[in-house]
Amino acid sequence: MGVVVAVEGLDGAGKATLVGALADAALRRGAVVETLAFPRYDADVHAGLAGEALHGAHGDLRDSVHAMAVLFALDRAGAAEDVRRARATQDLVLVDRYVASNAAYGAARRGEDVDGPFVAWVHALEVERLGVPVPDAQVLVRVPGELAAQRVRDRAAADPTRTPDGYEADAALQARCAAVYDQLVERSWLAPWSVVGAEGDRAEVTRTAEAMVEFWLSGSSRCDVASGSSVRSDTIET
């Protein structure tokens, strides 16, 4: 039975970069690894519609916080079997955005905090009703909002297919979302969290990834990280 780890954070935080480093670290350790990413824009019609709505299509669809969250949730429901199979056959399953993205972005859009109705609604919808598998651990890639926004702008400048979507272009939303993510961590919402800064260089990302993979795959009770690394894992439990 493998470990399912969801990697979360703002747009441009460095999630995909960390997922890549975690996968490399696990492979170097001889582990069998699978990587998934949500939304699955190309593989799932619900995600496809949500992605198009984020870029202004489908009338007022984007205006509805709940409608957008239902689409993202149905995308995950459609992948639930894949996640269960991966957990059964792999040592480590890395998921770039998962249920907590819906909780953080939806609550932020509604101006709610972690105790508001939206976060509870996401849990009831995705976990209790749709049967989306609960992850074993979650990682918040936490960087200052301005750095994440700059990375989104740089990415768009380098790749015209990555124009910022409606959420990415909304700095106030990203700031509220960062606050909700911090509350989700504080509450150990859904599963234990660890927090990683991604402001350092690539070598530091690699060191951090190696320490985290060692922790998950060894099942040790605490995560020893080289000094200078920015991982905070006191919320990890085994």
Ligand X SMILES: Nc1ncnc2c1ncn2[C@@H]1O[C@H](COP(=O)(O)OP(=O)(O)O)[C@@H](O)[C@H]1O
Ligand Y SMILES: Cc1cn([C@H]2C[C@H](O)[C@@H](COP(=O)(O)OP(=O)(O)O)O2)c(=O)[nH]c1=O
Binding status of residue 189 toward ligand Y by CB under 6 A? no
Give the interface size with ligand X as a residue count (CB under 6 A).
Answer: 13
Q: Which residue is nearest to ligand X, using beta carbons?
A: 14
Closest approach of Cβ 216 to ligand Y, in Å? 22
Site string for ligand Y, 198-217 (x = CB under 6 A): --------------------
Binding status of residue 153 toward ligand X by CB under 6 A? no
Distances (CA, A) of 177 to 62, 108, 159, 219: 17, 5, 25, 31
Q: Which of ligand Y, ligand X, none has residue 62 at its interface (CB below 5 to 8 Å by kind)?
A: none
Are residues 195 and 4 in contact, defined by beta-carbon separation less than 8 angstroms?
A: no
Single out the residue of 4, 9, 72, 151 in contact with ligand Y (rule: CB under 6 A): 72
Binding status of residue 105 toward ligand Y by CB under 6 A? yes
What HEC string does the chain produce? Answer: CCEEEEEEECCCCCHHHHHHHHHHHHHHCCCCEEEEECCCCCCCHHHHHHHHHHCCCCCCHHHCHHHHHHHHHHHHHHCHHHHHHHHHHCCEEEEECCHHHHHHHHHHHHCCCCCCHHHHHHHHHHHHHCCCCCCCEEEEECCCHHHHHHHHHHHHHHCHHHCCCCCCCCHHHHHHHHHHHHHHHHCCCCCCEEEECCCCCHHHHHHHHHHHHHHHHHCCCCCCCCCCCCEECCCCCC
Give the interface size with ligand Y as a residue count (CB under 6 A).
Answer: 12
Closest approach of Cβ 185 to ligand X, in Å? 16
Single out the residue of 3, 5, 6, 11 in contact with ligand X (rule: CB under 6 A): 11
Among positions 189-228, residues that touch ligand X (CB under 6 A) are 198, 200, 205
Closest approach of Cβ 22 to ligand Y, in Å? 17
Closest approach of Cβ 9 to ligand X, in Å? 5
Q: Residue numbers of the site for ligand Y (CB under 6 A)? A: 11, 38-39, 54, 72, 97, 101-102, 105, 165, 167-168
Q: Residue numbers of the site for ligand X (CB under 6 A)? A: 9, 11-17, 151, 155, 198, 200, 205
